[in-house]
Structure 1
Amino acid sequence: MSLEAAARAWLSWLSALTLGQIWAALCNPPDTPWKTALVVGAFIWTAPEYYGKFKAWRRGRKRVKFVYPMPKEAASTWHGEVIPNPDLFAHTRNPALLPSNASGEYITCYDPSSGEHIETRRLPSADDIARQVARADAAQPKWARTTFAQRASVLRSIKAWILRDMDSIVAVACRDTGKTRVDAVFGEILTTLAKIDWLVKNGEKVLKPERRALSLLLAHKISEVHYEPLGTVLACVSWNYSFHNALSPILAALMAGDAIVVKCSEQVAWSSDWFLGGVKACLRACGHNADIVQLAVCLPSVAETLTTNPTIKHVTFIGSEPVGRKVAAAAASILAGTTIELGGKDPAFILPSADMKFFASTWMRGAFQSAGQNCIGVELFLVPRVRQEEFIDLLLPRVKALRVGTDVGALISHAPIARLERLVKDAEASGARILAGGAQYIHPDKTQGAYFAPTLVADVSLDMEIAREELFAPVMTVVPYDDIDEALAKLRAGRFGLGGSVYGASRKECMHVAQSLQCGMVSLNDFGVFYLNQDMPFGGVKASGYGRFAGPEGLRGLCYPKAVIEDRFFSLIRTSIPAPVDFPLPAGDKPWIFLRGLVFFAYGAGVARVKGLLDVIRMAVA
């Protein structure tokens, strides 16, 4: 080995020492001078590296405080004009809702729990949105050069804002969606904080270069996969969790080094604008260009120009199946990757051994969380037929005791109510029993609110439309079954496959059901907790979509993997072309014998491998 090679090997060994090993050596000095010199040298050599890591750690923990005032409309004392039969286009029936100098397209933003007018918002044109995408894309390269510590600092600052102004965030979410404050904390705050903590703790580890295995022929190489930012990505998100659904893809994109355009639902344009304004305020306070985050509020005709914009490198879509198909087709036209999360018909499979009294509260939350407007809410309760009446006796009084407007919030609008009433009536005509609710609820104090009475329907069969279509409403649908495997077979025949849950006293029985369900996520003896663990991938199969967000899979999905291979001892041991196969090839069978020997040496076994090695050596030195 040359002197240079020896020096490189020694320095490589020094770099491999951990801080703990060096500290242990300093606390227990070696008994010979040369060993002492090695330890001191190791300390001197590695000190700058560890100091750099310490500074990066400090930068990553930095939280920047900024002031972002709550809009006056979110205050509990605020009251707006009540709109008769409110919807997004109420301004077309009542021009007084428009500003005096109105021009272009508008939508009406209102509180669905009361029908109170919040604002009439002008929609951007297709050209306006194209300019937003261009601004995000122009700002992305500089953001991609930020360190993980700088990105973590931004996320920690957003977390500090959420904890500091949680009351304001919840108030804004409730005003625009009609949900209760309790539902907002469950679905908006807890999940978003879980996302931030996971990204801060694991983002760098997931995205840093990853070593890959090598074969014998490449033993002198190092193979790595680097995860590079895609560029500018798009997230089309649903209205049911207006804060979390907007921030979740933003947080992931920022950690991945991407710029992002969020296309929110028109139903929550007002709150989404305020939420993204908070993120932009944080970015500016941290010294970054806020253009890397953009909000697009538009109707479907304009949204199509967004999903076919060639600048977009990836599309995340959360919403209905019909729209999801259109988004996937549009993204395919520009060869953008997609993650599609669509509807669900999540079952709670209750085994005969389940403790119904213990799980009753879990099932109430599973059915009525956010008025049932929850993609992983429980839509079907499969109950052993011999225990159906026990289930009803336990749950029905609790369903009837629910207070509309206090325990169960409003629907996002009046639009779903007629369909829900029809589905309930059709089920009743097919033999189901309507034991509670089943119709629109007129709130005595908020007559223009979009409420549906908490509903319990029993004796439902899986071939009824109410059991096949996603309801997204406060409806507890009870499906009695006689045989576990027969019920599982019917569930597998269904269109959806997002999540599910299994309840029972035997882990073996629960795992049998969990493994038989065709869905992306399952909770055993719990409801929906797979989403609170942000280390888990989130997504479904069949008509519930494809791809995953959250977890390492979701974060890496916002990057493109780049394979990088290099010499293990750079410049010291380099790959050369052996003489038997160098161009021009030597005459005779020398190339063939060399390559045949190489194949048997690398992939053969026993005597064949030894003979292959001898052929390689013989031809190389011939």
Structure 2
Amino acid sequence: MSVQHPPGRPVGSPAGDSAFRRAIPCHEPATGKVLGEAEAMDATAVREVVRKARAAQAAWGQTSFAERRAFMRELLDEILASQERICEIAVRDSGKTMVDAALGEVFPVCEKIRYLIENGEDDLRPEERSSGFLQHKRARVEYHPLGVVAVICPWNFPFHNIYCPMVPALFAGNAVVAKVGEHTTWSAEPLMAITKRVLERRGHDPELVQLVIGYGDSGEALVRSDVDKVFFTGSPENGVKVMAAASDRLTPVVLELGGKDPMIVCDDADLDHAVEQAMLGVFTACGQMCVGAERIYVQAGVYDEFLRRALARVETLRQGSALDEQVDLGAMTMPRQLDILDELVADARAKGARVLIGGERNASAGEQFFSPTILADVHHGMRITQEEQFGPIMVVMKFDTDREAVRLANDCPYGLGSSIFSRDPARAERIAAAVRAGMTVINDYGLAYMIQSLPFGGVGRSGFGRINGREGLRACCNTKAVVTDRVALGGGVSVYPIVDATFPLVRNVIETIYAPTAMAKGRAAGRTLRHAVDVARARMAFRKRGR
């Protein structure tokens, strides 16, 4: 894939336009500057890149963990050497700031690679398991490569969204085919080239990692192709479509479908710290994060003070093009997202929410900017408490009791992350235990993702399956049970021919193993011995008759 800029192609022209229906226009969200144009792949092209990836995986799947660690170390070195360039590419294609790119794109990828280097082999080493009552056998679990893993990436973090699913899949011995979001097509090739260069330098086939460029139909073609698993990050609506398409070939899927994370601020919280973390959770990457703090519940006794301190902070935020000036917030990546934010704010206003600041597009900064916003006195009758907003809007609600805070936090179809702020550890733990979510962080925001030993994923409308940690790495594998001899007895279970004593024998064997007392087990063992003798005699007579 190469991005070109043919003359006369207007940026933002409809994807369905007959003259350019397979072209993807690329532009900078912050400035509107044309970056070029890419050709969307059809199903034939998608199948071909999957074929290339599978051919390359045959050799990669046989590499040692030592070689995979060495590859990861070299890849990490390459990322560190290219850090500023990676951030600049992400800024140009997604509209975020350089700091957002460093924190959200590069930092978690580096930490994931570090985790794999230090822990990946241990996580995938064959694991001995109990063989139960079959003491003459050994049992273990092995983790084998799946083959070709498909990754369908959203547009909010163009480097991170390719690399964070890709590197564990590679470490597990797989090939990876990544379909990138059409809104961040321009950055995909130079970012993927980093991995291809390292593979080639180490003598491996760079075709091991592949890109799919296109719209929804290209993603559907990838899901329906000869891949062995699909990792999808995106909206619940598209997640349903991915599941439906994957069901044709019974291809397993992991769905990370976004969130609407609650942040609960108790009246005994460190308020300055809570406000600072709320700022981070709301305004990082202009709120375009699945783990964004989209619902902030503040206890009545500190509600007004929280709002006062938050407003003072938000009033100082600067917004604009991050490559042209020093700013705190950048642009929205997807133009349609601004329409969604307009609709949600209008609905909240109409139902009684107060707009303390912002609440509208920032036309002075450019066409794809939405002003940093605080909505106060929000309630659950407003759409913005139930629908993912993906924008720079701090949504603040009041609660009286801990029980009410939990009820409100759980009154939402999403269940990805959550955070609790309280100086009382026992109180914070009680609230955390009651919140329905895949992750909870106490007295901080978002750190569960940076602790790579922890699984990442949600419940409900936030999807299912896990990435990160041992669970996420093993999700890239065929988990295989293996049974071998501890002591070779020279025989096994023999059932045929079935005779009158066969069922009583089996019944008493079961009682011998599972009866509740030693006495009951002993009586059953005696009956087992008698029935075993009866079965042996009956089979001997059966064989004589057969002659």
Q: So what's the TM-score if we normalise by structure 2? A: 0.90
Q: Is the 8 Å Cα contact of residues 87 and 413 (structure 1) preserved in structure 2?
A: no
Aligned pair 1:436/2:357, yes or no? yes
Q: Say which of 372, 395, 415 aligns to 1:497.
A: 415
Match of residue 125 from structure 2: 208
The equivalent residue for 1:131 is 48
The partner residue of 1:299 within 215, 219, 237 is 215
Offset at 1:436? Answer: 0.5
Counterpart of 2:323 in structure 1 is none
Deviations 1:519-540 (A, max 9, x none): 1111100000000011111111
Instruction: Provide closer, same or farther for how the CA distance between residues 286 and 598 of structure 1 changes in structure 2, counting only shifts above 3 A.
Output: same
Q: What CA deviation, in whole Å up to 9, does each residue of 1:341-389 have, x standing for no partner? A: 1121111111111121232222111111111111101111101233221
2:431 to 509, 513, 527: 513
Structure of larger gyration radius: 1
Structure 2 Cα separation of the partners of residues 588 and 384 of structure 1: 72
Deviation string 1:254-301 (CA, Å, 9 cap, x unpaired) is 111111110110111111111111111111111111111110011112
For the Cα contact (< 8 Å) 1:373–1:472, is it kept in 2?
yes
Residue 536 of structure 1 aligns to a residue whose secondary structure is coil
In structure 2, the partner of 1:533 is: 451
Q: CA deviation at 1:601?
A: 3.6
Please report how far the alpha carbon of residue 138 of structure 1 lies from its aligned counterpart in structure 2 after TM superposition. Answer: 1.7
Specify the alignment match of 1:41 in structure 2.
Answer: none
Distance 1:577 1:452, change over 3 A: closer
Match of 1:610 in 2: 522
Q: Distance in 1 between matches of 2:238 and 2:521?
A: 58
Q: Give the whole-Å Cα distance in 1 for the aligned partners of 2:262 and 2:409.
A: 8
The answer to whether 1:320 aligns with 2:235 is yes
Give yes or no for the alignment of 1:553 onto 2:468. no
1:478–1:568 distance in 2 versus 1, CA, 3 Å: same
Residues in 2 aligned to 1:215 and 1:454: alpha-carbon distance in whole angstroms: 59
Residue 422 to residue 598, structure 1, CA distance change in 2 (3 Å): closer
Q: Structure 1 residue 415 and structure 2 residue 326: aligned?
A: no
Deviates more, 1:464-473 or 1:521-530: 464-473
**What are the equivalent positions in structure 2 for 1:91-170 lying under 5 Å apart?**
105-170=22-87
SS of alignment partner, residue 476 of structure 1: strand
Q: Does residue 354 in structure 1 map to residue 269 in structure 2? A: yes
Q: Distance in 2 between matches of 1:91 and 1:308?
A: 22
CA distance in 1, matches of 2:398, 2:21: 53
By how many angstroms is 1:577 displaced? 4.3
Q: Which amino acid aligns with 1:198?
A: Y
Q: Which residue of 2 aligns with 1:308?
A: 224
| Partner SS for 2:187 | helix
1:392 aligns with 2:307: yes
Point out where structure 1 has 5 or more consecutive residues left out of the alignment. 1-70, 74-79, 94-101
In structure 2, C-alpha distance between the alignment counterparts of 1:502 and 1:188, rounded to whole Å: 25
Deviation at 1:201, TM superposition (A): 1.5
Query: Is this contact kept in 2: 1:88–1:109, CA < 8 A?
Result: no
The alignment partner of 1:242 has SS state of coil
Q: Give the Å deviation of 1:403.
A: 0.3
| Residue in 2 that maps onto 1:228 | 144
User: Which whole-Å CA distance do the structure 2 matches of 1:402 and 1:176 have between them?
Assistant: 22
Give unpaired runs (5+ residues) of structure 2: 321-326, 538-547
CA offset at residue 415 of structure 1? 2.1
Q: CA–CA distance in 2 between the matches of 1:423 and 1:306?
A: 33
Task: Give the match's secondary structure for 2:114.
Answer: helix
8 A Cα contact 1:89 1:108, kept in partner: no
Distance 1:125 1:383, change over 3 A: same
Counterpart code for 2:84:
D
Count of aligned pairs: 526
Distance 1:156 1:395 in 2: 41
168, 171, 188: which one aligns with 1:255: 171
Q: 1:596 to 1:324 in 2, by over 3 A?
A: closer
Residues 84 and 491 of structure 1: CA distance in aligned 2, closer, same or farther (over 3 Å)? farther
How far residue 491 of structure 1 moved from its aligned partner, in angstroms, is 2.9
CA distances 1:512-559 after superposition (whole Å, capped 9, x unpaired): 211111111111000000000111111111111111111111111111
Partner amino acid, structure 2, of 1:312: V
Q: What SS does the aligned partner of 1:419 have?
A: helix
1:181-202 CA-to-partner distances (Å, cap 9, x unmatched) read 1111110111001110111112
One-letter code aligned to 2:361: Q
Gap change, CA 1:529 and 1:606, over 3 Å in 2: same
Mark the CA change 1:213 to 1:91 in structure 2 (over 3 Å): closer, same or farther: closer
In the superposition, relative to structure 1, how do residues 459 and 290 fare at CA in structure 2: closer, same or farther (>3 Å)? same
Distance 1:209 1:254 in 2: 18
Sort the Cα spacing of 1:336 and 1:588 in 2 relative to 1 into closer, same or farther, 3 A. Answer: closer
Relative contact order: is structure 1 or structure 2 higher (C-alpha 8 Å, sep ≥ 6)? 2
Change (3 A) 1:72 1:398: farther
Q: Pick closer, same or farther for the CA change 1:271–1:583 going to 2, 3 Å.
A: same
- Does the residue aligned with 2:189 lie in a helix, a strand or coil? helix
Any idea what SS the aligned residue of 1:440 has? coil
Matched residues in 2 for 1:353 and 1:434: separation? 26
> Which SS does the other structure have where 2:185 is aligned?
helix
Q: How many Å separate the matches in 1 of 2:3 and 2:231?
A: 32
CA distance in 2, matches of 1:315, 1:191: 21
- Picking from 85, 97, 118, the partner of 1:180 is 97
* Partner SS for 2:340: helix
Distance 1:85 1:482 in 2: 53
Describe the shift of the 1:89–1:284 C-alpha distance in structure 2 as closer, same or farther (beyond 3 A).
Answer: farther
Q: What is the alpha-carbon distance in structure 2 between the residues aligned to residue 385 and residue 147 of structure 1?
A: 58
Residues 1:460 and 2:378 are matched in the alignment: yes
Please list the CA deviations of residues 32-88 of structure 1 after superposition, one character each: whole Å capped at 9, or x if unmatched. Answer: xxxxxxxxxxxxxxxxxxxxxxxxxxxxxxxxxxxxxxx999xxxxxx99x999537
Give the match for residue 399 of structure 2. Answer: 481
Which residue identity does 1:283 align to in structure 2?
L
Question: Partners of 1:541 and 1:593 in 2: how far apart?
Answer: 46
Q: What is the DSSP-based 3-state SS (H/G/I as helix, E as strand, rest coil) of the residue aligned with 1:298?
A: coil
Find the counterpart in structure 2 of residue 378 from structure 1. 293
- Shift of the alpha carbon at 1:607? 2.7
1:469 equivalent in alignment to 2:394: no
Alpha-carbon separation, structure 1, partners of 2:490 and 2:410: 54
Structure 1 contact 404–443 (Cα < 8 Å) conserved: no
Q: Residue deviations 1:459-509, cap 9 Å, x none?
A: 111221122211111111111122331232233231111111010111121
| Change over 3 Å in CA distance of 1:592–1:436 after alignment to 2 | closer
Q: How far 1:597 sits from its partner (Å)?
A: 5.2
Q: Which residue does the alignment assign to 1:16?
A: none
1:344 corresponds to which residue? 259
- Match for 2:247: what amino acid? A
Secondary structure class of the residue paired with 1:530: helix
| Structure 2 SS opposite 1:270 | coil
8 Å contact 1:367–1:377 — kept in the other structure? yes
- SS of aligned partner of 1:452: coil
Give 1:426's aligned residue: 347
**Deviation for aligned residue 1:602:** 2.8
Alignment-derived partner of residue 15 in structure 1: none
Matched position secondary structure for 1:303: helix
Structure 1: distance between partners of 2:479 and 2:306: 50
Q: For 1:439, give the aligned amino acid.
A: E
2:287 maps to amino acid: G
Deviations 1:152-189 (A, max 9, x none): 11111110111111111111111111111111111011
- For the 8 Å contact 2:286–2:329, the answer to whether it is kept is yes
